[in-house]
Amino acid sequence: MSIAQALLPEFDHEMANTRKTLERIPADKLDWRPHEKSFDMRGMLTHMANMPKWAVMTINEDSFDMEPEGEEPTTEEPVVSVEGALEMFDANVAAAREAIANANDETLMATWSLLKAGDEILTFPRIAVLRSFILNHMIHHRGQLTVCLRLNDVPLPALYGPSADEDE
């Protein structure tokens, strides 16, 4: 079994769980935040809708400079609606899944670097970037989002078995 084939079931499971969570964000709570230093729900939704496309970049490029010297830092355009963000998320998940499925072991074991103004922040094999910088990072923000949803009395989806709100 290839590395990509071993990763895809986990990718599919985590993306489905993330989508179930994103769907719960109330349209009238996009600007709500639990603390002044925290993302508001729009920011979390924007970030999480964009994150799967990082897999495509990780597989197709050798590095990414988030603040290229002499250029504006990379930013994410805030989403306007939950529905629009879900469409973006679905398109990014589909593109990421295709890139992962088509990647061979040699590509996934090759290194990839995150840079800031040309300086290396991290360098890992691509498979480690996919697991930590994308999947684990997504799970981290999904956890933050579930707290925000709970604080707004939004029922939480069952993710790894039943939740206090769903028996699935």
CATH number of the domain within which 99 lies:
1.20.120.450
| pLDDT beyond 80 at 107 | yes
DSSP structure string for 137-152: HHHHHHHHHHHHHHHT
127 found inside a domain:
yes
Is residue 30 helix, strand or coil? coil
Number of domains in the chain: 1
pLDDT digits (tens, 9 = 90+) for 16-71: 999 999 999 999 999 999 999 999 999 999 999 999 999 999 999 999 999 999 88
159 found inside a domain:
no
Model pTM above 0.85: yes
Return the ∠ at Cα 37 (arms to 65 and 39), rounded to 5°: 60
Q: Residue 73: which pLDDT band, with cuts at 50, 70 and 90? A: confident
Q: Residue 135: which pLDDT band, with cuts at 50, 70 and 90? A: very high
Range of the domain at 13: 3-151
Strand order in 63-65's β-sheet?
Answer: 63-65, 111-116, 119-125
| pLDDT beyond 80 at 119 | yes
Cα dihedral 36, 154, 165, 93 in deg (nearest 10)? -80
